[in-house]
Amino acid sequence: MLRVLFASAAIALACASPAAADDWWPHPSDASWVYAWSDSVYAPTPTKERVTVKSDKGSSFELQWTTEGLDNPPEAIPSAGTMPFNETNFGVVNTSWSSNAPPANFPVLCAQAAGCPNALTDTLYYVIWGSRDPVLAQPVVAGLSWTSTGGAQGDVSGSSVYQGRELVKVPAFPSGVVAAKIRTDVVQAGAKGDPYGSGVRMTWWVYGVGPVKVVFEHAGGANAPVTTSELQSTSLQPKPPPADVNWFPTRKGDVQRFRWTNSKYLKTPSVAQFTVDAVLNGTSRFTVKHLSGPIRVAGNYGFSMRLDGLTNVWGNTSAATRVRFPQLGPKSLPADRRRHFFTPFDLMDFGWNPVLPAYAAAGATWSAKNPSRDFSNFGVTGTSRVLAPQRVVTPAGTFTALVVTSSLEQAGFPFGSGTRTCWFAPGVGLVKLVFRHGDGSVSTVVRTK
């Protein structure tokens, strides 16, 4: 009799949104994938397995697999199981699994062999090992990195980095197909089978198909096992992936300097420096400090990149200045709780989120919503649009920058109304901003470093 593995760990899920579904792991009801995997030490004979969609409802889907009916040799590892997932704003999350247990000769991936729910005897197990929440973080753009956990008890940690795109050849696509390559450093401690559960995993994801290749280099020295799984066939076809350009990169330690003037109220430039002092799972914290000029500001900002775009999560600033800008709204808030324009980031994220879509491209549009958190904070209506990249010259250099234009209306407050144009350079971030306020004044921000 086969032992049965079952795991259902508590996973904190982000709320799914319409933007959560993309095609890095599509799962139409009739989809199928056939993989062949082998372990150089414990299962050198390749085992074929067919993966199909058991259910697909809303933001949740469940995959099932079996090795039956694929003409596997006697030495192959028999396996069958199910694995459910949720699509969230930060990517695909595995919620549990159920399958038969691995053969007795495989390393035990728990502190005790009895009742151990962990296994590495199937392609899907390798895909989620050490990175269940999320399995694949999104959007998949340059600079993407995240940490996660795996194993039934969350005792397996993984640190993942997107390494770019490359052509990969597998039996399903013998001529090669463009894939996003993810490296994950996995660590498990305390299991009887140490160090088998630790190692380096490479996963190649194809847009429109899902994972097409997995290589796991187990820890354990020169003769340690290497597990490889490759896609043999699939009912799905690759699709052109969205561009992986990062228009607002946040690398810890990065420094950005801006010079800001206003044609009526701020003729002496205010120069401020922003430093990225923390980055974790797509959320970054900037600290801002005064360098020169009449606005002595200090504070910090938080920005998060998810499938619904780049969102300003918080902004905490204080300033000492004799500059008197016109009041901002909304009327629904008392004056001491209304926003202020103290820094270039205040001008950039004023009105509504997102600042940028997840995969920003010319033609994209989005608008303020009422009711919403942003409308409660800003009381601004309007629309943003992405234009094609343009050449822009700043003291920090010359860039071919993506252009985002916004029309803003803050009822009763001309200074909070007008048109804003932002220029974002690839791998650099904001390099220029022009805000033509409704009172006739113009704020101009340029990147100096």
Chain segment 297-316, per-residue pLDDT in tens: 999 999 999 999 999 999 99
Paired sense of beta strands 380-394 and 418-425, if any: unpaired
pLDDT score at 10: 42
Taking a C-beta distance cutoff of 8 angstroms, is the pair 289, 348 a contact?
A: no
Q: Rounded to whole angstroms, what are the CA distances from 139 to 174, 179, 246, 308, 440?
A: 27, 14, 10, 9, 38
| DSSP letter, residue 20 | G
Assigned domain for 323 exists: yes
Asked if residue 239 belongs to a domain, the reply is: no
With contact defined as beta carbons under 8 Å apart, do 191 and 111 qualify? yes
CA distances to 250, 293, 404 from 397, rounded to whole Å, are 19, 22, 19
Tell me which of 203, 234, 265 is where a domain ends. Answer: 234
Give the contacts of 123 (CB within 8 A, at least 6 positions apart).
35, 37, 49, 51, 65, 211, 214, 229
Residue 175 lies in a domain: yes
Clarify whether residues 17 and 72 are in a common domain.
yes
**Is 189 in the same domain as 106?**
yes
220 and 143 within one domain: yes
Q: How far apart are alpha carbons 190 and 186 in whole angstroms?
A: 14
From residue 176, alpha-carbon distances to 47, 63, 213 in Å are 22, 26, 12
Instruction: Please state whether beta strands 136-137 and 91-94 pair in parallel, antiparallel, or not at all (unpaired).
Output: antiparallel
The reported pLDDT for the residue numbered 4 is 62
Write out the residue range of the structural domain in which residue 32 sits.
Answer: 4-234
pLDDT at 399: 99
H-only helix segments in 313-372: 344-348
**Residues 274 and 221 occupy one common structural domain:** no
The answer as to whether 244 is a domain residue is no
Q: Which residues pair with 316 in a beta bridge?
A: 300
From 182, 204, 234, give the residue that closes a domain.
Answer: 234
Instruction: Give strand ranges (E) for 89-223.
Output: 91-94, 97-100, 136-137, 145-150, 156-170, 173-188, 199-206, 210-218
Paired residues of 165 in beta bridges: 180
pLDDT confidence of residue 12: 40
Neighbours of 438 (CB within 10 A): 16
In a domain, 160, yes or no: yes
- Output the pLDDT for position 5: 65
Q: Residue 50 to residues 53, 66, 99, 118, 126: CA-CA distances in angstroms?
A: 10, 6, 14, 20, 15
Nearest to 348 by CA among 254, 439, 248: 248
Are residues 306 and 181 both part of a single domain?
Answer: no
- Would 357 be classed as within a structural domain? yes
Can you give the pLDDT at residue 17?
40
Whether residue 286 sits in one domain with residue 144 = no
Evaluate whether residue 66 is within a structural domain. Answer: yes
Are both 11 and 50 inside the same structural domain? yes
Pick from 365, 375, 357, 445: nearest CA to 407: 365
Last residue of a domain, one of 183, 200, 234: 234
306 and 185 fall within a common domain: no
Element (H, E) at 124: helix 123-128
Strands (E), 171-265: 173-188, 199-206, 210-218, 226-234, 255-262
Q: How far is CA 62 from CA 23, 27, 83, 128, 149, in A?
A: 16, 9, 6, 14, 20
Sign of the alpha-carbon dihedral angle for 339, 343, 346, 347: positive
Domain membership flag for residue 242: no
> Residue 377: in which H helix or E strand, if any?
helix 373-378
**Parts of the chain with a pLDDT under 70:** 1-22
Number of structural domains the chain divides into: 2
